[in-house]
Chains A and B, each alone.
Chain A
């Protein structure tokens, strides 16, 4: 890929950070970036890749920052984007927030990081766990002997030796997000479940972990075809999982990194009934008022409950004087987002709730047309997975032989959950 330079710009295009990796371009090429971007925007030709005669700018926008990589070659842009995302992720793990302020406050450390994640335009160590071991907020004194952590040279590059905990614990979260797109006339256009198993590991030494799931392929192989199992598609694992073993006998075995990480992700394309279904009737009387009738239905088992449900219904930006009527929860008008939010603290399965809203419309209609944002729904259903995935066991073996406790939690939540409106 070979990036010539990496820049971090503020919204106006002023360079906040720049790192010249290859010295093969004039650092000032960046001055052309903003004008080009504006020009494209005017012509509605925006794209995250802008090529000029000299260089190609590959950029992402994050909050109020532009992260721009420049390259002179016919580069692999997918790789450059992945790298930029990765850098953002590293910064986030260091500074929690990534915005102008945090860049200014952590100026020095950002230069240190940029120095380590890439050399001569080629990515080097980008594992933030490892970086955190030798680049810290406080900085170092040479006397304390900052050595590159063992991990940098280790065979197991993601875990250092000599980690110690008084209490050995593992937390395992199975989180499934539902992405949904429903058409105007109530047809499900897209529906998928993106699952992730996230871990927080506080274990001493170099433990060897084995995770058992009710994986359909495994059950069929071992003759337990009749038990309840799930078919996982598109399974992606963290680097630490021995893929060859998974390929052979579907065993998920690994030496985990320390702390928090995502062990695996999977996807289910099976059609499931949308967990929360919304029906809306919108009556627009131009120049006078608009009326909404929203029906929310929970289509999951009665013994589960969705928490913190928020139904976000768009309304015209020039609407005013809202009146709401509802059987449960409460409704709030958020004029800055041109929407109302119907919040229901707890929404048990198999229930149906109704909400009515009434807005006044100004008698003089606005010139410009408005888009039609979809209704969005946010929710969280604990102790429940749509896929039915289950952790059967998590074995922890360490040579010192300590006992460690695994904690498992299941949550289903909304992903990109949209229902189009008229």
Chain B
């Protein structure tokens, strides 16, 4: 949480930093620096001390150096001019005989992220790549990846890329992995680092040299190379087999994915792979720590969708331990539910029934629902499940009884023969079940099956007497239906109460749905009682089918999604999340306008949120404008917005203009292609709600920062009218420019 560090603190620290007495005492000096860094961590603005810290960085004390460099990295972006002073020391440090210092300096330098300093960094970086110490080389390679966003032209240079490819053969394993990672980022636009047969075989042969993290990454990169022959595939699997034995769960998961990738077209072998991976996965669950256990469970759940039955024999491994955190228990519950088959369902249901008494009412409820789900899926298990549910019901606790009732409701529809077991329970539930949905279920059950109960009507009568205090609409609706149904079967007992209920619902209840249903029943009964009987009772006897939306087989599984967040959230949910993420990013970019436009941009963003696509604009494919007109209009229009865009340096400006033209945004004038300050004037005519509006654009390119700025002027009289126009034009512009392929 940022807080204001008073000027006094800054002054005090500054005095301390320049005090010769403190300087002489290394420990004390370090203490002062420590305080600066710790205040910085707390979020206080320590940037005014920048010059003092730069002075402090020229030191022989390595710890002190590290602290100052940490500080410099943090504030360089704010103090760009002063950062130049730091470069001097850093450059000197790059020539130190001690490789630790060289590496540290190089790492720091590349982390500054200031475009104007690139020229100073270039040389040390290139030298670092050839350094004799692996430690320096590692940092240099990572440095390349860091510089990518600051100086793409330096890094995306052919010779640099060649050199990095060459360094994949470095003798230090960490350098190799760093190289792969760096190339992956640098060449992202072209699909990342290329792994051909040679590189793949080379990496495979060294796979054991790599650290655990290296192995994970290498296994990931190997996914880019698909062996052509079966024999080769088997050789590879033999080599990688050791990774499945690794003590790091991350490596095991990466190896598993790699195996599945290799055997994609060999379903039989894939089966074996699953079996091979089973025990490492199960081990993560029992001994990997709760978080990893959770991840493994998510993956098992994901895999189960394609290979149900894979873990059937090990179902006891998924039983909950008392001290498992709730998220692990919940996941285990889900997995157990999906795993239940004809052979194992008995044990699983017994185990699930143990969780009904868990302290967490949510787990208890979930376990009861799970039993219901198993009963629905496996007709053979229904009797056992229902028996268990009835036993659990005996525990006489509100949340348990509620959940049991709701589970039984579905089962009664599927297996009508259990009705005789369920109905006798109902009277006992009345006292316990008070909550909306569960109570509605209870009332429905009473209406549907309560006729056989001697006191059935009187239970309803009690409820009707208290109907005025009932808040749940659902309960009232069910109560109406239940009483009406009961009326047709035991009219003598029910006539009065139905009358009361109808009267209350029609005259006094404020809810429309309740009133409408009451009125409908009233009119039906009023018109023709026999017809009413057919209408109200008739619907109840139709056969039903209940489908669980999350039953296995519903999700589309892509094995390449393993080891990502997809199995954690499930495909569908993840897709939704990605959508949202994209939308959010668009919005923030739109809001990032310069200060005077911020207000408007915010308005635009708001509009986007409010009515996403209510009014659509289209750009006319033919329009013309003379340069003179352009100039006068540019001067006249005062409805302005600025859009900031990323520039992809591999894209030529002319190509960009062509693309824009294809989207009906035409060029008025542009600077020569190679100009450093490249600029273009564009225009378009937008049609919205049968009106046309002229849009003028000035597009400026900043090659160094790889960004573009588009100043758009709109031919609209009122800002308010133009909001959808502005937002949508911005989207079109962004879409066209970034749709680079």
Contact = CB atoms under 8 A, between A and B. Distances in A.
Interface of A: 1-2, 14-18, 20, 23, 28, 31, 44, 46-49, 51, 53-54, 56, 60, 74-79, 81-85, 107-108, 111-112, 115, 119-120, 122-127, 134, 139-143, 145-148, 152-153, 157, 179, 181, 183-184, 189-190, 192, 194, 233-239, 243-244, 247, 262, 265, 267, 369-374, 416, 418, 420
A386 B51 CA distance: 66
Given A79-B250, A189-B319, A371-B359, A46 B326 contact: yes
B373 interface: no
A126 B211 contact: yes
A265 B280 CA distance: 13
Given A28-B2, A139-B62, 17 more contacts: A44-B360, A47-B294, A47-B327, A53-B584, A76-B216, A84-B291, A122-B177, A142-B101, A146-B100, A147-B98, A148-B103, A184-B354, A236-B246, A244-B208, A371-B359, A416-B323, A418-B322
Nearest to B37: A111
B38 A49 contact: no
A416 B581 CA distance: 41
A153 B131 CA distance: 12
Q: Which of B138, B145, B213, B279 has the most CB of A within 10 A?
A: B213
Contact of A76 (B38, B41, B254, B319): B254
Contacts of A194: 287
A48 B245 contact: no
A122 B213 contact: yes
Interface in B229-279: 241-242, 245-250, 253-254, 279
Nearest to B364: A369
A79 B63 contact: no
Contacts of B351: 183, 189
A119 B290 CA distance: 27
Interface stretch (B428-436, B506-514, B533-541, B561-569): B561-569
A124 B174 contact: yes
Contact of A23 (B111, B291, B294, B563): B111
A65 B604 CA distance: 41
Contact of A141 (B2, B60, B208): B60
A143 B60 contact: yes
A49 B38 CA distance: 28
Nearest to B283: A234
7 contacts: A49-B568, A79-B250, A81-B250, A119-B107, A123-B211, A123-B213, A181-B321
A153 B1 contact: no
Contacts of B60: 141-143
Interface in B104-153: 107, 111, 113, 133-135, 138-139, 142, 145-146
B211 A420 contact: no
A145 B316 CA distance: 57
A77 B145 contact: no
Interface in B547-594: 563-566, 568-569, 577, 580-581, 583-585
Contacts of B283: 234, 267
Contacts of A247: 241-242
A60 B291 contact: yes
Contacts of B38: 107
A51 B67 CA distance: 32
B91 to A, nearest CB: 17
Nearest to A247: B242
A18 B62 contact: no
User: What 8 A-B pairs come out closest when comparing CB atoms?
Assistant: A123-B213, A371-B359, A79-B250, A53-B584, A142-B60, A82-B250, A139-B63, A48-B291
B357 A51 contact: no
Contact of A78 (B173, B181, B295, B316): B295
A192 B357 CA distance: 26
Contacts of A47: 294, 327, 568
A190 B247 CA distance: 22
Q: Which of B177, B250, B577 has the most CB of A within 10 A?
A: B250
Nearest to B217: A122
Nearest to B175: A153
B470 interface: no
Contacts of B580: 53
Interface of B: 1-2, 30, 34, 37-38, 41-43, 60-63, 66-67, 70, 73-74, 98-101, 103, 107, 111, 113, 133-135, 138-139, 142, 145-146, 172-174, 177-178, 181, 208, 211-213, 216-217, 220, 241-242, 245-250, 253-254, 279-280, 283-284, 286-287, 289-292, 294-296, 299, 316-317, 319, 321-323, 325-327, 351, 354, 357-360, 362, 397, 563-566, 568-569, 577, 580-581, 583-585
A190 B317 contact: yes
A111 B178 contact: no
Given A46-B325, A371-B359, A23 B249 contact: no
Nearest to A122: B181
Contacts of A235: 245
Contacts of B397: 369
A49 B567 CA distance: 12
Contact of B63 (A28, A108, A123, A374): A108
Contact of A44 (B135, B146, B326): B326
Contacts of B254: 76, 79
Given A236-B247, A418-B322, A111 B67 contact: yes
Nearest to A242: B208
A346 to B, nearest CB: 28
A76 B248 CA distance: 13
Contacts of B585: 53-54
B569 A51 contact: yes
Contact of B358 (A141, A143, A371): A371
A18 B217 CA distance: 25
B705 to A, nearest CB: 14
Contacts of B362: 44
Given A111-B67, A115-B66, A49 B565 contact: yes
A287 B150 CA distance: 73
Given A60-B291, A236-B245, A370-B359, A120 B62 contact: no
B565 A77 contact: yes
Given A119-B139, A142-B62, A420-B354, A78 B292 contact: yes
A108 B30 contact: yes
Q: Which of A16, A148, A416 has the most CB of B within 10 A?
A: A148
A370 B294 CA distance: 25
Contacts of B63: 108, 112, 139-140
B140 to A, nearest CB: 11
